[in-house]
Structure formats: structure tokens, C-alpha cells
Structure 1
Amino acid sequence: MTAVLKTSWALLLGMMFLMIGNGMQGTLLGIRGGIEGFAPTSMAWVMSAYYAGFLVGTRVVANLIRRVGHVRVFSALASLVAAAFILYAADAHMVLWAAMRLLVGFCFAGIYVVAESWLNEASSNETRGQALSLYMIVQMVGVITAQGLLNVADPGGYTLFIIMSVLVSVSFPPILLSASPAPPYSTTKRMTLGQLFRISPLGCVGTFALGGVFAAVFGMASVFGTERGLDVGEIAAFVAVIYFGGLVCQVPIGRASDRMDRRILIAGLTAFGAALTALATVAPPNAWTLLIFGFFIGGVANPLYALLIAYTNDFLEPADMAAASGGLLFINGLGAISGPFVIGWLMTAMGPGGYFFYLAVLFGLVAVYAIYRMTRRASPTGGTAASYPPFLPQASPVAVEVAQAVASERRQETGAPETPGNESGNENQ
């Protein structure tokens, strides 16, 4: 870990500033939208725009990098983010906010690709896994720290938006002055969604549903808090524990994933999430117990993403894993774009309880479908199963590929534990 910090501390520091700014953005807009009197259905457009921009960015940014290089792409995109954060405060209008969220999502898709490419290039084969882990921790700590900063000024004013913009601006020097030339960025071959579904129906269905979950827990949480009548500190704490839960639960779930039939783990986690959120729907938690709910919701949702990709990889050759991951990232993005609209409609029709009802339905559907898939084909044996690659939902294709490579290397070094009670099978239907 010391070696990673020695070579990459400036890049990680810059990413910390970026993540604090981005973490403030989503929560602050939800709070400010409530102050401005925006309905949940209106805020759905604003929150959904980020995921749409991010999805477009993951498909376009490769061409930009190939044309002008990593440094120019990073400088241009980060500058646009800093400008967008200031423009949020210029006029509290839904159309402007949605346009700026679209731009910010697009820019962060490129920023993640560039930063993760640089981090990968600065790491050796021996330190790549540590670098990725430290990068994940820095991102999560940045987002959690951002929630605390929301209490330093009035969300109805301009100060918090200025802080967000300044944080992005001060991220430039440590990243740009320390970054070595990154290797040429190349995209992997594409896999059609039809091919991907035939390989792993559960991976596709689960990833789409999980995109909707992410839209709720990472996008609409502050809108829910505003509708619930929570104050700024309570909303910030609720969002923070969601991320903290995801960080804490990533490792134990990953270890369990490599030792059992992943479908049992997927079904168990989503069934637990469905039960928890159903309870919150019928017996709404108070401000304190809401933190417990938020921790476990984040703890279930965050690791599920990597778990579903690992399960899909169980039925793939290593050469096809990157293409499949790209397809799953796209499916997840589609689910995230549609999620805020459903949540906004449910909260308008049902009140704040519609937020948890939405999560309960999605978790429940994945649990039922995972159980159904267990009746259609056997799980691969422990010797052929892929290893769990830990990464965050906002990871770019670069981080996903690096995580999979690191997980595969570790599995080869340590040996694959046998998965009890399974036989390999080839049936897809």
C-alpha cells in the first residue's frame, strides 16, 4: 500500500476532491429542489439526466481520447464540470438543471476513464490490486465526506455550489502535474445484448433492475429525504450511511461469493433487501432507524453489481469477459435512467413510502428470478467459476477490466475453492 501511495498519491488526492464535489452535487440538488418547490416527478428528470449523460459518455469518450489524448480530455471535461456546478445556482430551473446534470454525467464518464487509465499505468502487476482497492476507498470516502460539507452553508444560497466548483478546480493540479503519459485507450470488442442474455439471463435481468436500485439509493435518496421532511443534516447522514454500508459489505460479500453458488447469494441478498424495504414501506422508520435501513440497503445494493458480473463471467471464456462487462454496464445504465421516473411517480402517488416500495419490488423481482434460474441450469463448479472482482457502481470499463484481471490472477495464485453441491451445466433456458 505504501508503494501505491508513493507513486499515485497526487492522483488519488485529485480524485478525492472530484468525488467530494460530485458527492455534494446529487444530494444538494435534491435538497435545493425541495426548497424551490420542485415535485418528485420534476426532480426525476434532473436525476435521470446524469445517468443518461454517463451512459453516452462511456460510448463516446474513447474516440475523444484517441483524437486528442488523456490530458486534454481530462482538462476539458473537468473544466466543464466546474462550470456546470456554478450554473446550477444561476437559475433554479428544471430544464437548466437537467441539462447540467446531463453534461456532468457525460464528463464524469470520461474523467473516470482517464483517471483509472493513469492509475493502471502507474501500477505494477504486484500493486495493481492494492491500487484499485485504495482508489475505491478514496472514492467512497470522498462521497461520504461530501455529505458532511453540506452542513457548512445554507443549501438555499450559492456558497455550497461555489465550494463544489472550487473542489473540482483544485483537483486539476495534483492530477495533471503528476500524471505520466497513459497508454493508448482501446475499446474491447462488442457483444450484442441478445448474445449476453443467452449467456446469462440472470446477469442481464439483475443488472437492469440494479440500475433502477442505484438510481434510488444514489440519486433519489435526497429527494426522498426532502419529501420525508428531514433536515439537511439528516438527509446528509442518510446518504452517507448508504455509501458507508456499500464500502463495509463489499469484502465479506465478495469472499462469500467465491465460496458458494452465487445465485444463492444473489437471491439471499435481494430477498433480505426486499424484506427490509417492505418493512420500511409499512412501518416508516424515524430519522435514527432510517440510518440503519440506509446502511443495509447500501450494503446489499453496492456489492450486487460486481456479484452479477462475476456470475455472468462464470459462463464466459476470459477473452469474452470485457465485452460482456461492457454490455452489462450499458444495461445497468438503462435501468438507472428509467429508475428516477418510476420513483418520482410513486412518491407523488404514495408519498415518501413510494421510495421504499419501489426498492422492495425491484429487490423482490431479482430474488424470485434468481430462484427461478436455479431450476433452469446448474452452477459452474468451483474450478471453473470466475472470481469476484470488487469495484464500484460508477466504475468505468477500465476499472472493471482491471478488477477482473486482478481477481483472475488472485484466483490462479490461491486456487479456486470447490463450490459445494453443484455440477456444471450448459443449459441457458
Structure 2
Amino acid sequence: MFQVFSGVWALLLGILLIMLGNGMHFTLIGLRGGVEGFSALELSIVTSGYFVGFLSGARYTPVLIRRVGHVRVFAALGSFMSAALIAFPLLAEPWAWTILRILIGFCMSGVYVAAESWLNNAASNENRGKVLSAYMIAQTAGIIGAQGILALGDAASAALFIGASILVSISFGPILLSATPVPAAEVSRPMSLRQLFDSSPLGTVGIFLLGAGYAAQTGMAAVFGNEIGLSAGQIALLVATLFGGAMMLQYPIGWLSDRMDRRKLIAGVSLLGVGACGLGWVTGGGLTFLLVAAFFAGGVATPLYSLFLAYTNDTLAPEDMAAASGGLVFTFGLGAILGPLVIGAAMERFGPMSFWSVQALAFAAIALYALYRMTQRAAPTAQETESYLGVLPTASPVAVEAAAVWSVENAEAEAEAEGAQDPR
């Protein structure tokens, strides 16, 4: 295990620090937006801007890397992101914040592309699954830890934004000082939406709906907490619980994924999400119930992303998986742009509890469509399915493609091992 991580510890440390800064700024937007008197709809536009930038960064960063190299792109994006974080308290206008969020989303997506290229190059076929899992854990731990840092300052001042900028700035130190030359990122051209839908209707529709729900959940949670009168500490705890649930439920859902019809599991965990959102809506804002709702709503959203990736791969030939991964990332991004806008408009018109009801509708639509698709196509056998690997919705196409490659290799290795044990 030590040998697995000895070559990537600096990258994992850097990612942890980046996510501390980025996780702080996600919650700070909702907190400071409330102080500035921004409406829920205005903040939803600001939130959506991040995902516009993120989707653009995933598309254009590989082009930049091929032109000038990983190190220059990585350093430039880090500088822009650090500057943008400091600019938030200086430009307290919704239009300015939207532009800054687009910039930060572009930079974060580019950072992921570069970092995941290094990570994938450092991993071997034997340890790629462990390395990718450690990378995802570092990301989630950073976001959760960021919520604790928020308790050290006041969102009405510039101190927390400056702190987030400092964390992002120093995060590039261990990465750039240990970086070794790697080939330019080769991201496959995304499969068209029509081809993707023809190959996997459930994967395409489901991941779009999930994108809408996930972005609304993570981007608007602080806005929701602010509107129902939670303190800054309680809002930070709510956001941390969303991601804590994702970390805790990823493994058991992944374990089930390799042992049953994934469509049944998608429907089941989606219905759990409906129940969790219903609890948050019905209880009317009691903190304990809100935390339980957040744990399970957040806990099923991230594993659902991995489930859709794995299920789609089950329907494809190995040579098509990379293109399909890019198509799924793009489809998820489209949903992520739309989701905050819908939930912001609903909160503006019907009140803050629409935060839960809109998410519940997204989860319910996923569950119903999964049940419908079960009547249209037979389930693949266990031998025909690819292995599940937990991938965060924030991952770039580089990590998603690497996970697809690992899934194929691991499934083939398991099949060979079973064949050796049963010579019949």
C-alpha cells in the first residue's frame, strides 16, 4: 500500500488543499449572498455559472495542455482561481459573481484534467483502482474539512475569501514541485447525445436528471440554510453532512452494484433519495431532521453517478466506453447548469422548502424511468457487467475514462480468476 501512494502523495495533498479552498467558497457564496441581500434566483444564476465554466473547462483544457504543457496550464489556472476568490467581496454584484464563478468553474475543471492526467500516468493497471479511490476520498475530505474552517471567520468580512485563496495558492506547491512530464491529456471526443441515448437511454436520461439534482443540492444548500434562518455553523454542518453521506454510502451501494440488476439498485437508491427529501420538506427545518435528510439525499446522489457510468458501460463494447464517458460527463454538465436555475426559481416563488421538493422530483423521475426501462431490456448477467468504481460527479473526463478502463480490466481479471477455479 505504501508503494502505491508513495508516488502520488504530493498530488493527493495538493488536491486536498484545493478542495479545502473550493469547498469554502461554495458555502461562502450562499452565506455572503445572504448578507448582500441577493435573492435565491440571483444566487441560483451565480451557482449555475460555475457549472457553465466547469463544462467549458473540461472541453478546452486538453487543448491548452497540448499547446503549452501541464505545468504552465496548471499554474495559470491556479493563479486565476486564487485571484477570483479574493475578488468576490470586492465585487458584490450578482453579475460580477456570475462571471467570477464561470472563471472558477473553468479553472477547477482544468485543474482536475491536469491533476488526473498526472495521477493516471503515475498509476499502473494493478493499482489504478486504489489510486483513483484515494483521489476521490481526498476530494470529499477536503470539501467536508472546508466546512469546519468556515467556523473560524465571519462571512460578512473578506477574511474567509482570503483564506480560501491562500489555501488554493499553496495547494499548487506540492503538486508543481513534484510534477514530472507526462503526455498531453488525450480525452476522447464525446459520443453524440443521440448515440448515447440509443446505447443507454437510462444512463443518458438518468445522468441528466442527476446533474440537475446534484448541482442544485450542493450549490444551493447554503442558500436554503440561509433562507430558513440557520446559523453559519449550522449551514456548514448541513453541507458537510451532504458530502459525509456520500462518503459513507459509496461503498455499500458499490458492493450491491456488482451483485444485482443495476436498474433495480438505481430505482431503489433514488427512492431513498425521494424519502430523504420528503423528510427534509415535511419536518419544516428542524436541524436534526435536516441533517438526516441531507445525509441520505447527499449519500445517494454521488453513488448514483457511478452507477450510471457502470450501467452504461455494461451496454457498450470496450472501444466505445471512452467516448461514452465523455458524453455522460457532458450530459451531466447540461443538467448541472439547469438544476440550480430551476430550484432557485422554485424557492423564489414557493419558498425555501422547494429546495427539497425539486430534488425529490428529480429522484422520483430517475426511479420511475429506471423501472420503465426494466420492462424494455433484459438485465445483463453478472459475467456481462463491468466492475463498479466510485467516481465523484466533479471528476473530469480523464478520471471517468480511467475508471472505465479499470472497470473493464478488473472485470476481465475476475472472469479469468473464476475460470481458473472452475475448469469446466
TM-score with structure 1 length normalisation?
0.95
Q: Match of 1:103?
A: 103
Q: Match of 1:78?
A: 78
In the aligned structure 2, how far is the partner of 1:53 from the partner of 1:287? 33
> How do residues 85-164 of structure 1 correspond to structure 2 at under 5 angstroms?
85-164=85-164
Structure 1 segments unaligned to the other structure (5+ residues): 419-429
The amino acid of 2:79's aligned partner reads S
- Is this contact kept in 2: 1:383–1:416, CA < 8 A? no
In the aligned structure 2, how far is the partner of 1:246 from the partner of 1:91? 34
In the aligned structure 2, how far is the partner of 1:190 from the partner of 1:137? 27
**CA displacement 1:71-103 (0-9 Å, x = unmatched):** 000000010000000001112111111100000
SS at match of 1:151: helix
Q: CA deviation at 1:285?
A: 4.2
SS at match of 2:196: helix
- Is this contact kept in 1: 2:281–2:356, CA < 8 A? yes
Question: Are positions 1:181 and 2:184 aligned together?
Answer: no
In the aligned structure 2, how far is the partner of 1:104 from the partner of 1:416? 45
**CA displacement 1:283-330 (0-9 Å, x = unmatched):** 324112211111111111010001011111111001101111111111
Q: CA deviation at 1:417?
A: 12
Q: Match of 1:353?
A: 353
Q: Match of 1:313?
A: 313
Which sits farther off after the overlay, 193-202 or 179-188?
Answer: 179-188
Q: Match of 2:37?
A: 37
Question: Are positions 1:69 and 2:69 aligned together?
Answer: yes
Q: Match of 2:400?
A: 400
- Is this contact kept in 1: 2:185–2:398, CA < 8 A? no
Question: Are positions 1:216 and 2:216 aligned together?
Answer: yes
**CA displacement 1:251-302 (0-9 Å, x = unmatched):** 1111111111111001111112112212322332411221111111111101
Q: Match of 2:279?
A: 279
In the aligned structure 2, how far is the partner of 1:124 from the partner of 1:315? 26
Which sits farther off after the overlay, 110-119 or 2-11?
Answer: 2-11
- Is this contact kept in 1: 2:280–2:289, CA < 8 A? no
Q: CA deviation at 1:8?
A: 1.4
In the aligned structure 1, how far is the partner of 2:45 from the partner of 2:106? 16
Q: CA deviation at 1:188?
A: 1.3
**CA displacement 1:35-92 (0-9 Å, x = unmatched):** 1111100001100000000011111111101100000000000100000000011121
Q: Match of 2:262?
A: 262
Q: CA deviation at 1:409?
A: 2.1
The amino acid of 1:298's aligned partner reads G
In the aligned structure 2, how far is the partner of 1:280 from the partner of 1:51? 25
In the aligned structure 2, how far is the partner of 1:261 from the partner of 1:283? 33
- Is this contact kept in 2: 1:382–1:416, CA < 8 A? no
SS at match of 1:125: coil
After superposition, the Cα gap between the structure-2 partners of 1:71 and 1:217, relative to the gap in structure 1 and judged at 3 Å, is same
Q: Match of 1:204?
A: 204
TM-score with structure 2 length normalisation?
0.96
SS at match of 2:369: helix
Q: Match of 1:342?
A: 342
Q: CA deviation at 1:125?
A: 2.5
- Is this contact kept in 2: 1:343–1:358, CA < 8 A? yes
Q: CA deviation at 1:389?
A: 2.6
**CA displacement 1:173-230 (0-9 Å, x = unmatched):** 1110101111222121432110111111111110010001111221111111111110
Give the aligned CA root-mean-square deviation in angstroms.
1.4
Which sits farther off after the overlay, 277-286 or 319-328?
Answer: 277-286
In the aligned structure 1, how far is the partner of 2:137 from the partner of 2:203? 26
- Is this contact kept in 2: 1:122–1:180, CA < 8 A? no
Identity of aligned residues (%): 52
In the aligned structure 2, how far is the partner of 1:192 from the partner of 1:122? 31
SS at match of 1:394: coil
In the aligned structure 2, how far is the partner of 1:258 from the partner of 1:322? 21
Q: CA deviation at 1:231?
A: 0.4
In the aligned structure 2, how far is the partner of 1:333 from the partner of 1:362? 15
- Is this contact kept in 1: 2:35–2:156, CA < 8 A? yes
Which sits farther off after the overlay, 186-195 or 203-212?
Answer: 186-195
Q: Match of 2:382?
A: 382
Structure 2 segments unaligned to the other structure (5+ residues): 419-424
**CA displacement 1:15-53 (0-9 Å, x = unmatched):** 111110000011001011111111100001100000000
Q: CA deviation at 1:234?
A: 0.4
The amino acid of 1:385's aligned partner reads T
In the aligned structure 1, how far is the partner of 2:280 from the partner of 2:134? 34
SS at match of 2:287: coil
SS at match of 1:92: coil
- Is this contact kept in 1: 2:62–2:184, CA < 8 A? no
In the aligned structure 2, how far is the partner of 1:301 from the partner of 1:322? 23
In the aligned structure 1, how far is the partner of 2:128 from the partner of 2:314? 23
**CA displacement 1:327-348 (0-9 Å, x = unmatched):** 1111110111011111111111
- Is this contact kept in 2: 1:3–1:127, CA < 8 A? no
Alignment size in residue pairs: 418
The amino acid of 2:68's aligned partner reads V
Q: Match of 1:5?
A: 5
